Each structure stands twice: as C-alpha cells, then as structure tokens.
Amino acid sequence: MPLRRPPRTDADYNEYVKDFYKKIEDYDWNKITDTKTGLESILHRAREKKMIKLITQWGTGDAYLDVGCGTGLILRHLPKGSVGIDLNPRHLERAKKYVPDATLVLGDAEKLEFPDSSFSTVICTEVLEHLVHPQKALAEIRRVLKPGGRLIGSTPHHALIWKLRWLSSTHYHNEPFHNEFEEDELRALFAGWDIKLLKLGVFRGIFFFVVEKN
C-alpha cells in the first residue's frame, strides 16, 4: 500500500496517519478472531470476551456508538440499532455483512457527526493507540455522550508483549504510528471524566477502561 512521504507539520502528519488507516484493504478482525489458531487467536478472543463482559456490566441505553468499529468485531455484540463509525470504507463493507442491522457511518473519530448528548454508551476498542491526538477523539466522544453516559474501551499497555508485535501475522508492518500507554498517561487523558474502571488484563498487555461523563 503506497503512502506519500511523511509530512513535517503536526497537522499534516495527523492526516498522513489517517490516510494509512483509510487505505488498509485486507484485514477482517472478525475472521482473524474467530478462525485463527495459536497464541495470537487466544489473545484476540480473550480481549473480545473481556470487552463483552464490560459492556454487559456497564453499558446502558438502547443503542450504542462504536467508534473505530472496524469490521464489526465488537459491534456484532451490541444492541440492535447500534451505530458503528470507521475511517475505512472496506472495513464498513465487511461490517455490514456481520452486523446487517447496525447503522454504519464513514467518518472520523475527531469529527463525529452526531448531535450533542446523542448516546448513553460509546465503545472505543483498540483505537486510541492509533490516534496522533487521542484527546481530540475523547473530546468528541464526551460531546456526543449524554450526561452520565459511559465510554467503555481498551488500549495497549506499554508492555513487552507489544515489543513482539512485529512477529504477528496481523501486524501492519508499514504502520506509521502506534502508541502504548502507561496508567498515568491514561489518567491524564481521562482528566475531567469519572473513572469507574482502569485495569490491566489479557496478559497485562491491555488497559480496559470505563469512564463516565460527569
């Protein structure tokens, strides 16, 4: 997948990274999670299982918003009529096959085209690490959440397991940007939210979080 040369300005670099994710063609996270074998599949399925448990425990409302829904891995477990948004049109095409009753939107997590206070629950799984400015997406998520609404998600911990990710068959080897977080960094990102849960899981390589708009 050819990409233009990395730009020098921060704003242009942000768009450069987004352009990479818009053009990914051959990944299907549902298929990878459901059919792969070995340690990698164990990780993917354990992460999915943990997210389903958190959503069942903490989710509220009739329809949820899944930001960065990809091919619908988590969206398929959400209430009927939920909404998925993703930058990549090919991901949404696959998601439509897996979750035909969902509303799918081609869009940017930093510019959510929904009115203020639209959702009681927003899901954001394995997305923040791909954003050059995750605080912008979090501000938009906060805007579209109702008062007392909850954001439920996950993101990588700065741990050894991610140092080995280049060995993975699902790793984007020309990926221009990927972040891992320490707990204090996430707490800083969630400043102004009521943190209900921030906990390591899945081999201590992933932070799972539930934060509430107060």
DSSP string, 16-78: HHHHHHHH--S--HHHHHHH--SHHHHHHHHHHHHHHHHHHHH--SSS-EEET-TTTTTGGGS
User: Does residue 95 have a pLDDT over 80?
Assistant: yes
Average pLDDT over residues 57-76: 97
Tokens of 162: 């991610």
The DSSP H or E segment spanning 14 is helix 10-23
Average pLDDT over residues 192-207: 94
10-213 falls under which CATH superfamily?
Vaccinia Virus protein VP39 (3.40.50.150)
Going by pLDDT thresholds of 50, 70 and 90, the confidence category of residue 161 is: low
Report how far apart the first and last C-alpha atoms of the chain are (Å, whole number): 42
DSSP string, 149-174: EEEEEEEEBSSHHHHTGGG-TT--TT
Q: pTM for this structure?
A: 0.89
The DSSP H or E segment spanning 13 is helix 10-23
| Number of helical (H) and strand (E) elements in the chain, helices listed first | 7, 7
| pLDDT for the residue numbered 177 | 82
Distance CA 103, CA 96 (A): 9
Going by pLDDT thresholds of 50, 70 and 90, the confidence category of residue 1 is: very low
| pLDDT tens, residue by residue, 124-149 | 999 999 999 999 999 999 999 999 99
Q: CB atoms < 10 A from the CB of 21, how many?
A: 20
